[in-house]
Amino acid sequence: MTDALFLTSEEVAGLATPAEYVDVVRDGYRQRGEGAPALPRQTFRREDPEGKLTSYSAILPETGAMGGYTYTSGFSGPDAWFVTPLFDAESGEPLALVDGASMNPFKTGAAGAVAVDALARDDASDLAVIGSGAQARGQLHATATVRDFESVRVFSPTRENREAFAAEFDDHLDAAVEAVDSSGAAVSGADVVITATKAADPVFDGEDLAPGAHVTAMGQYTPGRRELDATTVARSTYVPDLRDRATQDAGSFLAALEAGVVDEDHVHAELGEVVAGVAPGRTSDDEITVFDSGGTGIETVAAAHMLYEKARDEGLGTALSVAPASEALTGRLP
């Protein structure tokens, strides 16, 4: 028998700062760029009752951990359930089982921030955020740790939501944060654009992007749904989290392929390859870059292992006894 640590969402919340998430996720992507295994999401859908089961995984050898995300949504209601199993990468023994809901916006936001740090101009100071939900919050919290933004403009369709978002972050950040009435007003002149929405159609016009802009798109990972138009993809140096995902479920890239404005060679590199220095990132101040984030086991394992270590050091969590197969399958358990 071995003990794994179960961490509740309440125990995970606030256990790490956005900057700490960014540091471990950056290192996770470096390991991926140097060859660490990671697979794109796999989703199983059911029609009656309607719902889906999704999972993805990664091994981070230097971190010493492996695992991933498994989550469900739909079925009997609108809710979702996130679980992260974490294992020792050398022994294979279970380390932890993490209720993943609280860490979700922060580990996903950290992946976006790593991309901004790797692909945006060093002097980027003007940020646009499209979306005002939990994921947009996570992206902004994390991204604000890698660039010194002077101004932030946020747009989402519901005025009350974008104004509440702007007021919250205007108090939290040194930057001036304001709500604007259109995505065009947010994007115009922005050095960095973050999209974090549930939209099925493009949320801004790619012609509005300023030369030298960086875009992090993280709200869509379903064929037939997209946050970015074909113009944005075609104008950009396009970097997905995982190369295989670009032609599997990256709706924006697939739509650009279908429109004939790009081919599969338009994928410049994976984010990990850029972080590891295997592939170049930005090569000019006028270059437009895109990070297409669909979620991977890389940021999930990196974040979960950090939280596991912090919780263990602080005496948090509940021990769960797990039987090895050599005992459980042979009837040697008491």
Q: What angle do CA 130, 131, 132 make, to 5 degrees?
A: 135
pTM: 0.95
- Digits of tens for pLDDT over the chain (334 positions)? 889 999 999 999 999 999 999 999 999 999 999 999 999 988 898 888 888 899 999 999 999 999 999 989 888 777 889 999 999 999 999 999 999 889 999 999 999 999 999 999 999 999 999 999 999 999 999 999 999 999 999 999 999 999 999 999 999 999 999 999 999 999 999 999 999 998 999 999 999 999 999 999 997 788 888 999 999 999 999 999 999 999 999 999 999 999 999 999 999 999 999 999 999 999 999 999 999 999 999 999 999 999 999 999 999 999 999 988 888 777 665 5
* C-alpha closest to that of 215 among 128, 105, 156: 128
HSE-CB at 155 with a 13 A cutoff on CA atoms is 18
* C-alpha closest to that of 116 among 146, 149, 136: 146
**Contact of 225 with 278, CB cutoff 8 Å:** no
Distances (CA, A) of 15 to 46, 70, 88, 304: 35, 21, 21, 11
Residue-level length of the chain: 334
* pLDDT for residue 331: 65
* pLDDT for residue 220: 77
Cα–Cα distance for residue pair 334/319, rounded to 1 Å:
19
* pLDDT for residue 45: 86
Domains annotated on the chain, with CATH:
2-104+297-328 (3.30.1780.10), 121-292 (3.40.50.720)
DSSP secondary structure string for all residues of 72-126: EEETTSS-EEEEEEEEETTT--EEEEEE-TTTHHHHHHHHHHHHHHHHS-TT--E
* pLDDT for residue 332: 60
**Contact of 16 with 138, CB cutoff 8 Å:** no
| Strand-by-strand arrangement of the 176-179 sheet | 176-179, 151-155, 126-130, 192-195, 214-217, 288-292, 236-240
**Contact of 152 with 175, CB cutoff 8 Å:** yes
Q: What angle do CA 220, 15, 42 make, to 5 degrees?
A: 30
* pLDDT for residue 1: 82
State the DSSP H helix or E strand holding residue 161, giving kind and residue range, or none if neither.
helix 159-172
Cα–Cα distance for residue pair 210/112, rounded to 1 Å:
20
Is the previous residue joined to 49 through a cis bond, with omega within 30 degrees of 0?
yes
- β-bridge partners, 129: 154, 194
* Farthest-apart Cα atoms in the chain, separation: 68
